[in-house]
Structure 1
Amino acid sequence: MDIDAFVTAHRPTWHRLEHLVNQRSSLTGAEVDELVDLYQRVSTHLSIVRSSSSDLMLTGRLSALVARARSAVTGAHAPAWRELVRFCTVTFPVVAYRARWWWLGSAAAFMAVAWGMSAWIAANPEVQASIASPDQINQLVNEDFANYYSEHPAASFASGVWVNNAWIAAQMILYSIALGLPIPYVLYVNAANVAVSAGLMASRGKLDIFFGLITPHGLLELTAVFLAGAVGMRLGWKVVDPGPRRRVEVLAEQGRAVMSVALGLVVVLFVSGLIEAFVTPSGLPTWARVGIGVLAEVVFLTYVIVFGRRALRQNETGDLERAPDVAPTA
């Protein structure tokens, strides 16, 4: 390739692009379109020069011009702290708020199963006998249930609880790939586990101890699990019924939004794990421990409702990807 002829032919284009970049704060709509077009063309010129010429000065000049044009076209990235603030005040709460009816439905179904099954277990000795022997039940209700929260060092117990609960939430979000169909079963299994403990404790008149130990951390923990199930099932339904939009577009947008919930629940479940490790087995009176759990639950729900409703009014979707439909490429 004749590099001199190439430079002569395209120098006006480079000069025009440089002028538009220098004036980018006052460009008209047509000039913005021209800037994007010239950026793509000069990017191609740079690729040709790199592959066909050893002129380092020319390569450096075009590289700098393309970099400046890319900055003008795509804009500067927001500082990391702004992205974090946006995630906390918009992205996570709006996705949770949009899934509020699925969230409420998951909670209602879970509680109905747990209450119904626990009452059935408490009222039927033959059912209790099929679960464990009388001695084992007495051991559970008199010692093991309470000792579970204090038999390990608090820090290691908190981390173990956090990992376990995060895994349960992650499972339900991942099950959205299967249209959310396995999620009701996962919720049912967890409801059954709660019901067995509640039913056995109730059968021995220890229901006050059960709620005194389960409520401080259980409210926030179960709320997080319900939210994970809700967004997973909502995503699955959006695939079935995408509305007027293309199914692949809805799946991509909602999938990214669901990932924001997964990230947010890591923090929520961490707080729940701290409460379970340090508050539940503490020497505080029952009313104080329960009060801490209720306060954490109220703060979380208020946060979601206030910020989620505000973001919804601003037509936010919670999509983590806010790039333009067609991004310039080099």
Structure 2
Amino acid sequence: MDLDAYVLAHRAHWLRLEELTSQRRLDGAQNDELVDLYQRVATHLSVVRTSAPDAALIAYLSSILAKARLRTVGTRSTTWRSVAGFFTDRFPAALYRLRWWWLATLAGNVVVTAVMMWWLLQHPAVEQSLLSPAEIDQLVRHDFENYYSEYAASHFAAQVWVNNAWVAALCIALGVLGAPVIYLLFQNVANLAIIGSIMTRHDHAGHFWGLISPHGLLELTAVFVAGGAGLRLFWSWIAPGDRTRAQSMAREGRTAGTIALGLVVVLFISGIIEAFVTPSGLPTEARVGIGIVAELAFFAYVFVVGRGAVARGHTGDIDASLLEDRVATQA
């Protein structure tokens, strides 16, 4: 293909697209023209890439298209529509697509916790090596319950949210290494098993589960989801499948980022429950019931909304068209 002749034939379209994207306001006819020119220039870019690759021309056309796309779709990342789309499509699709990873992580941690609690109850000497009798008495009679009402509810909710969000973020950020995720999850359930076994041994099992269940069901599920996403990221470079390792890690890294953002809201909800419901004067059955409802709502969100999002073609990754624009701009 004669590149000079091609540029001469289509340069007017490119200049007109540049002109339209630089205008502050467009009427209906101009918007239609912008969309039409965007599609034409996208075709021109494809032809140049395949028939007469020229780095400078590709960069120029990519730049025009990126600006035009912003004009046609608006500032997507800052609109309420984009936020709504994240929680109706992208986040639930990511949860559903990785469901077997985090469900396996959840099941594994439940089993480990149960085994550890059983073992600790069968070996009381271990408990005595961890805490003195006075510390155990203080924990059982005062510290465990006071933990939930020591601070003002709003302050406590923020503290819990930051702490759990940090643990979830670490599980995802360190996921590429694999072992740190397992260590973080083990530390989490070990503390639960130790305190649970101590409370159970001293006839406070009902008290323990009555305080931990309202918020703990959703909170721990969110942490296990983060752990599952982290382990999937680790597996993406161990077994990349039909992609290169870089492509596989990039895709799962973007999906893990989606999950991390969504879990901020999930953990915020569990923090609200922990601050306002767990220490409240509601009957134990009501508090536990609220926790169960929150957990069931999360699973319904994953397996109803998430399944629907996947059926519509969402994967939890960034929209393919945005990726194409990004690659074109970088080219």
Mapping 1:35-74, distance limit 5 Å: 70-71=67-68
Once the two structures are TM-superposed, the CA of residue 278 in structure 1 deviates from its matched residue by 0.8
Match of 2:328 in 1: 327
CA distance 1:124–1:34, change in 2 (3 Å): closer
Match of 2:274 in 1: 276
> In structure 2, how many angstroms separate the alpha carbons of the residues matched to 1:72 and 1:138?
65
- List alignment gaps of at least 5 residues for structure 1: 1-9, 48-65
1:165 maps to a residue whose letter is N
Once the two structures are TM-superposed, the CA of residue 11 in structure 1 deviates from its matched residue by 7.6
> In structure 1, how many angstroms separate the alpha carbons of the residues matched to 2:93 and 2:100?
13
Quick one: which of 273, 296, 299 aligns to 2:297? 299
CA-atom RMSD in angstroms: 3.4
Correspondence 1:287 to 2:288? no
> In structure 1, how many angstroms separate the alpha carbons of the residues matched to 2:126 and 2:38?
77
Mapping 1:15-94, distance limit 5 Å: 15-17=12-14, 33-34=43-44, 70-71=67-68, 75-77=72-74, 79=76, 80-94=79-93
**TM-score, scaled to structure 2:** 0.81
> In structure 2, how many angstroms separate the alpha carbons of the residues matched to 1:184 and 1:267?
24
SS in structure 2 of the partner of residue 189 of structure 1: helix
Match of 1:190 in 2: 188
CA distance 1:313–1:142, change in 2 (3 Å): same
Once the two structures are TM-superposed, the CA of residue 29 in structure 1 deviates from its matched residue by 8.1
- Paired residues of 2:105 and 2:224 also in contact (CA < 8 A): yes
Match of 2:308 in 1: 310
Mapping 1:167-246, distance limit 5 Å: 167-178=166-177, 180-246=178-244
CA distance 1:210–1:37, change in 2 (3 Å): same
> In structure 2, how many angstroms separate the alpha carbons of the residues matched to 1:147 and 1:92?
35
> In structure 2, how many angstroms separate the alpha carbons of the residues matched to 1:280 and 1:225?
19
CA distance 1:166–1:124, change in 2 (3 Å): same
SS in structure 2 of the partner of residue 182 of structure 1: helix
SS in structure 2 of the partner of residue 324 of structure 1: helix
Mapping 1:113-132, distance limit 5 Å: 113-132=112-131
Give the greater-gyration-radius structure (CA).
Answer: 1
- Paired residues of 1:91 and 1:260 also in contact (CA < 8 A): yes
1:213 maps to a residue whose letter is L
> Which stretch of structure 1 is more off in the superposition, 221-230 or 128-137?
128-137
> In structure 2, how many angstroms separate the alpha carbons of the residues matched to 1:296 and 1:95?
20
CA distance 1:125–1:94, change in 2 (3 Å): same
Match of 2:4 in 1: none
Paired residues in the alignment total: 303
1:278 maps to a residue whose letter is F
1:319 maps to a residue whose letter is D
CA distance 1:69–1:320, change in 2 (3 Å): closer
Once the two structures are TM-superposed, the CA of residue 165 in structure 1 deviates from its matched residue by 0.6
Match of 1:108 in 2: 107
**TM-score, scaled to structure 1:** 0.81
> In structure 2, how many angstroms separate the alpha carbons of the residues matched to 1:282 and 1:129?
32
SS in structure 2 of the partner of residue 284 of structure 1: coil
> In structure 1, how many angstroms separate the alpha carbons of the residues matched to 2:187 and 2:38?
61
CA distance 1:183–1:68, change in 2 (3 Å): closer
> Which stretch of structure 1 is more off in the superposition, 253-262 or 221-230?
253-262
Once the two structures are TM-superposed, the CA of residue 135 in structure 1 deviates from its matched residue by 2.4
Match of 2:162 in 1: 163
Correspondence 1:99 to 2:98? yes
- Paired residues of 1:17 and 1:69 also in contact (CA < 8 A): no
CA distance 1:301–1:67, change in 2 (3 Å): same
CA distance 1:19–1:118, change in 2 (3 Å): closer
> In structure 1, how many angstroms separate the alpha carbons of the residues matched to 2:313 and 2:66?
31
Partner deviation per Cα, 1:210-251 (whole Å, 9 max, x = no partner): 000000000000000000000010111111111111111111
CA distance 1:213–1:18, change in 2 (3 Å): same
1:189 maps to a residue whose letter is Q
> Which stretch of structure 1 is more off in the superposition, 209-218 or 92-101?
92-101
1:34 maps to a residue whose letter is H
- Paired residues of 2:176 and 2:231 also in contact (CA < 8 A): no
Once the two structures are TM-superposed, the CA of residue 14 in structure 1 deviates from its matched residue by 3.9
2:146 maps to a residue whose letter is N
- Paired residues of 1:166 and 1:265 also in contact (CA < 8 A): yes
Once the two structures are TM-superposed, the CA of residue 100 in structure 1 deviates from its matched residue by 1.1
